[in-house]
């Protein structure tokens, strides 16, 4: 145990001798309200923590332990660096006491994430959804497209398949039925898009390995 530091949790022997694996120790908060919460949690009679009083990491829930630092770069990407010295969140308090009656221990309720944490979580969720979408909607060849195009294009389309192309017509059923948009996909995965029989766009996909539809 660190020289001059005093453990406050009854029955805790962390860092007591050199044979134990070293664990992180945390001093009591300077804030009076939080310090009072720590004292109440460890349930030690007449406990008046001094500047050298500590509580080891084993008494804190994992949600209170900061093991990595995260920094958002200017381009929006996130840099994650593993901390050499662990620290606690600002709302941390001891809640795990294995050497004491079980009723003294409890799992803290999950705290609300900060705005930056929520933004990071949303970005990660969107990236995962996009990766799943790419996996389920990637066409590697014209043959695969021929087998699956009707399912991917959905309802409201008239599809005609030939040897070297697929014609897709989106129908407009308002008043007089008509063809709203037509798309022609060639065997080399070149795509032509027409509106009212006028060519709007041609996209050549020869150089791309995969097409997403």
Per-residue pLDDT of 73-93, as tens digits, reads 777 778 888 888 899 998 899
Asked if 100 and 10 count as a contact pair (C-beta separation under 8 A), the reply is: yes
DSSP string, 58-121: GGS-GGGEEEEEEEE-TTS-EEEEEEEEEEE-TT------TTS-GGG--PPPPPPPPHHHHHHH
The reported pTM is 0.46
pLDDT at residue 204 is higher than 60: no
Confidence bin at 151 (pLDDT 50/70/90): low
Percentage of the residues of the chain whose pLDDT score is greater than 90? 8
Q: How far is CA 112 from CA 29, 35, 122, in A?
A: 21, 21, 14
105 vs 96: CA distance, rounded Å: 5
C-beta neighbour count of 178 within 10 angstroms? 11
């Amino acid at each position: 145990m660190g020289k001059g530091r005093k453990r406050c949790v009854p029955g805790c022997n962390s860092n007591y001798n050199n044979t134990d694996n070293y664990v992180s120790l945390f001093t009591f908060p300077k804030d009076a309200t939080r310090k009072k919460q720590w004292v109440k949690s460890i349930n030690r009679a007449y406990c008046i923590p001094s500047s050298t009083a500590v509580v080891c990491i084993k008494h804190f829930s994992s949600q209170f332990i900061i093991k990595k630092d995260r920094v958002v770069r200017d381009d929006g990407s996130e840099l994650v660096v593993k901390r050499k010295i662990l620290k606690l969140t600002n709302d941390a308090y001891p809640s795990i006491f294995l050497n004491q009656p079980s009723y003294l221990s409890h799992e803290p309720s999950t705290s609300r994430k900060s705005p930056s944490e929520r933004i990071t979580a949303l970005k990660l969720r969107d990236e995962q959804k996009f990766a799943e979408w790419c996996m389920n909607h990637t066409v590697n060849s014209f043959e695969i497209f021929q087998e699956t195009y009707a399912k991917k294009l959905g309802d409201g389309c008239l599809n005609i398949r030939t040897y070297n192309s697929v014609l897709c017509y989106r129908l407009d059923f308002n008043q007089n039925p008509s063809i709203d948009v037509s798309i022609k996909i060639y065997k080399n995965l070149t795509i032509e898009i027409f509106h009212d029989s006028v060519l709007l766009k041609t996209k050549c996909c020869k150089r791309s390995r995969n097409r997403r539809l």
